[in-house]
Chain A
Amino acid sequence: MAHFRSHVLVCVDPECLNKGAHDVLDAFQDEIVAQGLIDEVQVLETSRIGSCSNGPEMMVYPDGVHYVGLTTYDIPYLVEEHFLKGRIAAKFVEEKKITVDEELSAPTAKEIRVVLRNCGKIDPENIEDYIAEDGYQALGNVLTQNKPEEVIEIVLKSGLRGRGGAGFPTGKKWQFCRASQASPKFVICNADEGDPGAFMNRRVLEGDPHSVIEGMIIAAYAIGSNQGYIYCRAEYPIAVKTLNIAIEQARNFGLLGKNILGSSFDFDLEVRMGAGAFVCGEETALMASIEGNRGEPHPRPPFPAVKGLFGKPSNINNVETYANVPQIILKGADWYASMGTEKSKGTKTFALAGDVKHTGLIEVPFGITLREIIYDVGGGIKEDKGFKAIQTGGPMGGCLPSEYLDLPVDYEELAKAGSIMGSGGLVVMDEETCMVDIARFFMEFTQDESCGKCTPCRVGTRRILEILERICDGKGKNGDIETLEMLCSEISETSLCGLGQGAPNPIVSILQHFRSEYEAHIYEKRCPSKVCKSLIRYEIIDGTCTGCTVCARNCPVNAISGERRQTHLIDPDACVRCGICMQVCNFNAIVIN
């Protein structure tokens, strides 16, 4: 076979042909003959290499230079520059389009990407892209070299813990399920990512679905299951679509179905869609939903590993947990265990939201501090305001004040501080946030999402919400704080599932760290952050007001009076505290007291 110094691929897609690709191709061939390069440069026709919008296009290898917008007149110059002088003809080089990914930007120095490594890099609808990134190699290794017990051993040794929030060791879970005698067994992926503000799993499902599928096949091999389900919430239609495409492709490649990769192991997968119920993220509720019932939780034990879906042993893990597995198999348990803290190994994805400069997804090793996450990875607080609190772990997590900024993030440390890891939502709040309002807000959420099966959660969350609403309305009374504390501990202790047990967390942590704000609302009828409408008054500063009448004309309830060029006055009884006057005032003459 002849050896060429360069290979030139010219796009002959209809669009480029229309723009004269054939003429360019001919001219190019003539030119390299003329320059005596015919033995050194090979010219090939190829299909689409770019968008063709600025054709004709060509690709030069091994340099990997992409030229666009060529005409026959440009060819002599191009051949001389690139192929004789060895310089890139810059004026024809395709301009790289920079697409801004608002959710997932380039990793910062403190990040390590394991789960998110392929997201945004590969085409999720093309299995070959995943395979090119060592995809399904772990599965191949496991099926040919490892017994199921050995796979469990590797996962145990890696220290991987459930990323759904509770942090139960994944290897142990697999062991329990493998030990169960009954059959069939099921492997379930919990893709019901319901925590507000958390969208890490959505991104993995949409950006790298095969990593989850591969992790599930390996888990199925380890525990001895032949059927799996991915339960995805209905709010994620694109993830469902991507998953279905990925499963179909995996089947066509012999990676799902009978005799996977020529082994005697069979496994198949099905996607199930939820219908909008937060509580279905709880594993027993999720299984009830797959069975076609109301998504209500059941008491445990029996645990799913013994009696799960359709009454059979089931292993249920979160999206992120499964997505870690192929990497652990490929790079080894020791590699994985080298990241993180003593008890929390590896990396964790978080969705950073709220008053932080760079919101979006991040993946960091355990042990990183909250300060590093907010200031180094997140770029600091918006508009450089002061930091007030960070809420970890979603609506059942706690709010931590600035004293905890240097807390190393892992399962144990967060629990010690009165919060939880949860699935990985991080909501940053700046100094202008009212913590009582936030407590009320989270309670509204859990109260609304309570499935109603057990009394403490159904009734208790409503009572808490009523008290918090009263406090925010300026009608708080003596004893409210004590009643809240009592209700919170009762609800945590007696509720059936994680939703009820965790529901009081935000209230308790805010009581613990921001008690003075509750007290100001109740005893002084004052909202220190000037958020709660019933506790604030808009006032016009005498002297700053020019009497321009803009505020009076914009007030929707005509609560502002005053003569032109005279200081205006707001009637507090008529005022609805909409804040419009403050927005329209050109002289900053309106303040909140």
Chain B
Amino acid sequence: MTIVPIDGKVVLEAVRTAVDRYGATRDELIPILNDVNREIGYLPGEALDEISRLLRVPKSHLFSVASFYRMLSTKPRGKHVIQFCESAPCHVAGGREVWMAVKEALKIDEDETTPDGNWTLVTTSCLGVCGVGPVMMIDDDIFGNVDAKQVQSILARYH
């Protein structure tokens, strides 16, 4: 995987900005992790070290929280993250065909990242826009009423 190593300074900067915003208390941990994860794309070890130091919370606890929630990742992710809704209404509306088409187009499986570091494919729980299923979310953009034939053209927008 050719993912560019994260600059340590950037990581520390992101952590400090988040801690400043919410305050260095344990009950602000999840908002802080969310912000850092969003900023860096995942939670590198350096980030957890720094949060642990600032919040005076053991790193084991941080790791247990970070690995519990689906939206937090302790592994590097690709440039774009595809979150595919795997819920019943999308499944009933033809989500399985679209899911196959996405996997086929990117040649990766769930929770994998493409070798060029461009794409990570994950499933998500319901995004709450079931009226337009099947639904997938690429970074912050939601695509509804997707069918298998549209997959290539949707992916092509992200280059």
Contacts and interface: CB of A to CB of B under 8 A. Distances in A.
A235 B87 CA distance: 13
Given A194-B126, A272-B31, A291-B27, A360 B131 contact: yes
Interface stretch (B6-14, B61-69, B74-82, B113-121): B61-69
Contact of A199 (B31, B68, B70, B128): B128
B130 A353 contact: yes
Contacts, number: 115
A313 B129 CA distance: 35
Nearest to B71: A276
Contact of A292 (B28, B87, B124): B28
B64 to A, nearest CB: 6
B44 interface: no
A560 to B, nearest CB: 20
Of residues B26, B69, B88, B128, which shows the largest number of chain A Cβ atoms within 10 Å of its Cβ? B128
Contacts of B29: 292
Interface string A291-309: 1111110000000000000
B105 to A, nearest CB: 14
Nearest to B122: A276
B68 A359 contact: no
Q: Which interface class (under 10, 10 to 19, 20 to 34, 35 or more) fits B?
A: 35 or more
A438 B92 CA distance: 9
B34 A102 contact: no
Interface residues of A, number: 47
A163 interface: no
Interface stretch (A121-129, A441-449, A492-500, A542-550): A441-449
A278 interface: yes
A451 B65 CA distance: 12
Nearest to B28: A292
Given A196-B125, A275-B72, A293-B65, A427 B33 contact: no
A227 to B, nearest CB: 12
Contacts of A433: 92
Contact of A449 (B31, B125, B127): B125
A490 interface: no
Contact of B125 (A102, A276, A359, A429): A276
A151 B138 CA distance: 46
A167 B127 CA distance: 25
Contacts of B25: 292
A438 B29 CA distance: 37
Given A275-B69, A277-B68, A445-B87, 7 more contacts: A196-B88, A202-B128, A275-B30, A277-B70, A296-B68, A427-B88, A442-B88
Which 7 A-B residue pairings sit nearest by Cβ, starting from the closest?
A196-B87, A276-B70, A275-B69, A292-B29, A276-B71, A199-B128, A353-B89
16 contacts: A194-B126, A196-B130, A197-B88, A198-B130, A235-B127, A272-B31, A274-B69, A276-B69, A276-B71, A276-B72, A292-B65, A295-B68, A353-B89, A360-B131, A395-B88, A427-B88
